[in-house]
Amino acid sequence: MQDMTVVTEATLFEKLGGRQAIQAVVEEFYNRVLADSDLNGFFADVNMERQKQQLARFLTAALDGPNEYDGRPMKEAHQGLGITDHHFDLVAGHLVGTLQWAGVSQVMIDEVVALVGPLKKQIVSV
């Protein structure tokens, strides 16, 4: 009789270390973004604790973890903010730098970028 054991590969969420790792990455990511004079103005009137929570939930869902994201769709959330390609690219660079800081392999960084990169057309409005 054949062994019918099903082996499931870990999700990217699990490979990255789960909820705690995502929260640490989000914290460091926003430290970098808020220190960037080209970006910090976008967050002047933002409740950063809620913002961090929403990003952690969004990333968790995007990386095949539990889907607890209850924020607005990307296009709606970023509409009218004047976000340019330059701003998006800076944020993407901070995300990559943060993942490198966290010791994430380049292969997994590339997977994360492949998931969030296509959001550019929904976020950039200028």
Q: How confident is the model at residue 8 (pLDDT cuts 50, 70, 90)?
A: confident
Per-position DSSP letters for 32-68, written without gaps between them: HHHT-TTTGGGGTTS-HHHHHHHHHHHHHHHTTS---
- Please report the domains of the chain, with CATH numbers, ordered by start residue: 12-123 (1.10.490.10)
Q: Is the pLDDT of residue 66 over 80?
A: yes
Q: Choose among 31, 36, 2, 17: nearest CA to 104.
A: 17
What's 9's DSSP letter? P
pLDDT tens for 13-50 read 999 999 999 999 999 999 999 999 999 999 999 999 99
